[in-house]
Structure 1
Amino acid sequence: MKRTVAVLLAALLGLSLLSGCNTMRGMGEDIEQGGEAIQRQSSSY
């Protein structure tokens, strides 16, 4: 029983870490797009 709970908790932890990586990657892409938009606007003046 304890082993099953430990495996389940490990699996949940692994899934949460993987989803966290996707979240950070998406946030990085959003920040990059924002920076590119600022560069485009500043170069037009």
Structure 2
Amino acid sequence: MKSKSSSILRVAGVAFLTLGLAACNAVHGAGRDVSAIGHDVSRGASATQQGITNTTGASTH
């Protein structure tokens, strides 16, 4: 009986480890997506700022 319960514990441990790694990869991927959005917003703000400067000759700083 001890053998069967230790096998179940091993299988459960491997399952939890596998799920933990999958969750870690999902969070890492979401972090990259959020970072990419931040970079896009920053580039858009810089382009807008440059457009204002070019159109009006006024500094935006």
Which secondary structure state, in structure 1, belongs to the residue aligned with residue 18 of structure 2? helix
Large movers: runs of 4+ above 3 Å: none
What percent of counterpart residues are identical? 11
The CA RMSD over aligned residues, in Å, is 1.1
Deviations 1:1-45 (A, max 9, x none): 332222111100001111112111111111000000111111111
Structure 1: 5+ residue runs without aligned partners? Answer: none
Count the aligned residue pairs. 45
Please report the TM-score for the alignment, with normalisation by the length of structure 2: 0.64
Partner of 1:9: 11
TM-score, length basis structure 1: 0.81
Structure 2, unmatched stretches of 5+, are 48-61
